[in-house]
Amino acid sequence: MSSDPLDTLAPSGETVFDYDRRHLLTYAELLDAEKDGIPWQDGALEILGIDPVTDASRAQACWDSHLARARWITGAGLRIAIAAFGEQARAASHRRR
């Protein structure tokens, strides 16, 4: 789980945001959990840090939206994501000089 707080809903659309870069590890963990057949409730608690018993609607919405975003970034949005992350890295490098 990222140390950066998660929004209930991940970004959507065909633009890559800094939020996506900050949560790449979370996206990868969600994809791994899905591939391994982990129940979303277990993943919500372990990966997202949201208790699906006490906050079921938020846990489900957060799981669904972040998993959908992870699928988009590693699928149809991959080219856009690579370009965006490259731009962000170059901008950060220039700021450090």
pLDDT (tens digit per residue) in 35-60: 999 999 999 999 999 999 999 999 99
Place of tokens 């998993």: 67
Q: What is the pLDDT of residue 63?
A: 98
| Residue ranges per structural domain of the chain | 32-74
First CA to last CA distance, the chain = 31
Q: Which of 59, 71, 58 is nearest to 27 (CA)?
A: 71
Convert 34-46 to b/e letters by CB count within 10 Å (16 or more is b): eeeebebbebbee
pTM of the model: 0.83
Q: What is the DSSP letter of 86?
A: H
